[in-house]
Amino acid sequence: MKLVRTLAFILIFVFAAAVYLFQVRLAKESLKTIPDEVNRNVTLSQNDTIDRIALRDNTQKTQIELQKKDGSWFLEVPVRYPAESGILEGLAATARLASRQPRLRSEKEWAEYGLASPDMEITLGLAEKKTATLLIGMKVPVGKAFYARWAEERGYFLLSSEMKSVFRQSVYGLREKRIFRAAPETYRKITVEMGEHSYQFRKDGPDWYWFEPVAKFGQKVPAGVMYAVLTTLQNLHVKEFLDSNKKSRAELGFFMIHDRIRVEGEGVKTENFHFGNEVPEHNAYYGLREGEDTVFFVDRGKVIELFDLMKKIAPDEGSPAAEDAKTEAPAALVPPLSRVL
């Protein structure tokens, strides 16, 4: 009797080990380039333009829709706002990579793979109004991959966890959060107005010159100083979007005369950023980009960093800092009249 029981345990162990080794081999080999077991209908190449993406996350109960217009991506649902084009191009590249995975023949019902009611559905808009929908189901028993399939096909494939994470996005994560979106190399004029102080820089050729304050008019801005200014502007990001804001512009601190930054560039749209009231409980200021309706928070620390930089490089006349700057500053380099005009 004991011998029979021992043999039974041995057989069960051998069977379990065989199943485990088979699952491990399947998880590894199916992620490699192997012949398809079923025909594929979806193959996305670089020549296939993806200009619409819909992300439905059935686990988190969210749906996000985006569209590409004139080379840039925009959120359409649940809000309308410019999107981080770099992230969307990465998402499109991941979809193309997913379309190249080897297809496997389904031996069970789709529900067994979690694909009858998938966790995620990614619909891609292609040329001539065609679409392709990627379904992502449950995790494989062994390994880190997930079962996935294209709705237009009979087979399935394994999708790595890293690729799945690319498709799991939030609205905030996809929104464009840079306050100044043009590339710094396109900048030609920068104006910073803070209370009674005004600072203006203009670029001529490779160099930048002061135009305000008047005491610095015509002086060449040292490269290190200009680098600090440009870096500080690029570090201004949206901290939180206030889509449900009901307050008026006046209540938020956006009056006729208020703090603002204006950036003008070559071949790009002029960008105006307006500062509103300080919001201590959020360690932020209200912010608004001219021409857009969405109010947001901008980090107070980043704003103070900009204010402190301006005061340091252009201190008030008569202050100790200004006197020190006069003794340390190089002789003024006044540009030709053609540059001033």
pLDDT for the residue 141 = 93
* Nearest-10 crossing angle of helices 300-313, 223-234: 160
Tokens 């004991």 belong to which residue? Answer: 2
Q: Is the pTM of this model over 0.75?
A: yes
Neighbour-count burial of 281, counting CB atoms closer than 10 A to its CB (0-12 exposed, 13-18 middle, 19+ buried):
exposed
Q: Is residue 284 over pLDDT 90? A: yes
List the strands of the sheet with 295-299, edge to edge.
Answer: 207-212, 197-204, 187-194, 260-265, 271-279, 284-289, 295-299, 238-242
Q: Is residue 331 over pLDDT 70? A: no
Mean pLDDT of the chain: 85
The third-level CATH classification (topology) of the domain covering 184-340 is Immunoglobulin-like (2.60.40)
For 77, other C-beta atoms within 10 Å of its C-beta total: 13
The least confident of 19-23, 84-88, 244-248 is 19-23
Largest CA-CA distance found in the chain, in angstroms, rounded: 108
* Secondary structure of residue 260 in the 3-state scheme: strand
pLDDT for the residue 36 = 66
Taking residues 77-94, report their average pLDDT: 95
Tokens 């509103």 belong to which residue? Answer: 276
As given in the structure block, the two tokens for residue 281 are 């409980």
Question: Which residues of the chain does CATH 2.60.40 include?
Answer: 40-174, 184-340
Dihedral sign for Cα atoms in the order 257, 262, 264, 269: negative
Q: Is 1.10.3470 the CATH number for 40-174?
A: no
Q: Is residue 324 over pLDDT 90? A: no
Tokens 């190399």 belong to which residue? Answer: 185
* Secondary structure of residue 99 in the 3-state scheme: coil
Q: Which helix (H) or strand (E) holds 192?
A: strand 187-194
Per-residue pLDDT of 17-67, as tens digits, reads 443 444 445 445 444 445 667 788 898 988 899 999 999 999 999 999 999
